[in-house]
Amino acid sequence: MQTRIFVTQPIAASALERLRAAADVKVNPNDSRVMPKKALVAAVRKCDILFSLLHDTVDRTVLAANPKLRAVTSMSITPDNIDVAAATARRIPVTVVPPIVAEATADINFGLMLMVARRMVEGDRLVRKGRFPGSQSNHLAGVRVYGKSIGLIGGGGRIGTAVARRAHGFGMRILYWGPRRKPEVERDLHMEYVPLDRLLAESDFVSVHSPLRPETHHQIGARELSLMKPTAFIINTARGQIIDEKALVKALAKRTIAGAGLDVFEHEPKVPRALVKMPNVVLTPHLGSGVMEVREQMANIVVDNILALLDGKAPPNCVNPEVLSRSTVRARALAHGR
């Protein structure tokens, strides 16, 4: 009997072809929304391996739905929505993909910055309504990006430095802060390391790039937002939980800051209605890695992880390798006729 694999949303054809050559694969055909919990549980009951995406919540309930579940293979870089402890307790390996989305995420980051500063979304909506205030009207006058100051929080990492390279093309002054100073980054990209409070006070655009950890949860709250210029914008393409969303809504409503460009939200896929109504906010549905070439590469890495498991080998991107004793891997391979 072939291994049964369930994929929670459509993936790249090249990855699906490889997967179907080695297993019995079923795919949820709807890529317009996150799979409902009830449907996910029902699907897990009928599969041996789950191929999940970042927003699929694989919690204890999902894992308990099938005592014979052999693996959870995610297309996420970090297993934020997977109960790894519960999976480990059940001896279920959990795999992810390496951080290969820096350039794609930096594109979205800079796009959000341009859109919110130049009021491009508002302009698009106006034209679609048949209104055209004129090329020199102040009706949709925004603010310049070129030559301004950008402050990168957690800016010494892959995505922060990719944004810095783009900022150079716009003649921007680049400030950064992080838990560790990186002299080589400062030298190569002409970035200036400053304390966080100074970064917030001096930047025209504050760009969030911190990884989500216990110490970075609500790293940006009411106090930090109050330090920003009233003419400044905040951009977040990292993780929604890094910004206190309630504090952000208040700051935007009171015009403590000028606006925001958000690709991530604190309680995804839910987005606060207050944010949706604000014209000085640009919202995108977590599109950071949303480039076909990147998504295809990510899907094929998940397939690499799955094929390794089916061949009785340790997958290259396992977050709980302690469940992969040699005897366990061999047993799994034998159980699936490999």
> Residue 226 sits in which domain range?
102-283
Q: Is the dihedral of CA 294, 300, 306, 308 positive or negative?
A: negative
Q: How far apart are CA 193 and CA 195, in angstroms?
A: 7
Same domain assignment for residues 320 and 185 = no
Residues annotated catalytic, as ranges = 239, 268, 286
Q: Give me 34's structure tokens.
A: 């996150």
pLDDT value, residue 4: 97
Q: Give me 188's structure tokens.
A: 């190569």
Kindly list the strands in the beta sheet with 71-74, ordered across the sheet, starting from the edge strand earlier in the chain. Answer: 24-27, 4-7, 49-52, 71-74, 94-95
pLDDT value, residue 331: 47
- Residue 13's CATH number: 3.40.50.720
Same domain assignment for residues 199 and 86 = no
Same domain assignment for residues 14 and 112 = no
Q: How many domains does the chain have?
A: 2
Same domain assignment for residues 89 and 109 = no
Same domain assignment for residues 151 and 161 = yes
H helical segments located in the chain: 13-20, 37-44, 60-64, 84-89, 102-117, 120-128, 158-169, 183-189, 196-202, 222-227, 245-253, 273-277, 292-310, 326-335
pLDDT value, residue 1: 75
Tally of residues, the chain: 338
Bridge partners, 150 (sequence order): 174, 205
pLDDT value, residue 326: 55
In DSSP notation, 266-315 reads: TBTTB--HHHHH-TTEEE-SS-TT--HHHHHHHHHHHHHHHHHHHTTS--
Rounded to two decimals, what is the model's pTM?
0.88
Average pLDDT by stretches of 10, the chain with 338 residues: 94 97 97 95 98 96 97 95 96 96 97 98 95 91 97 95 97 96 94 98 98 96 98 98 98 97 96 96 96 96 97 94 69 48
Q: What are phi and psi of 175, to 5 degrees?
A: -105, 150
Same domain assignment for residues 311 and 253 = no
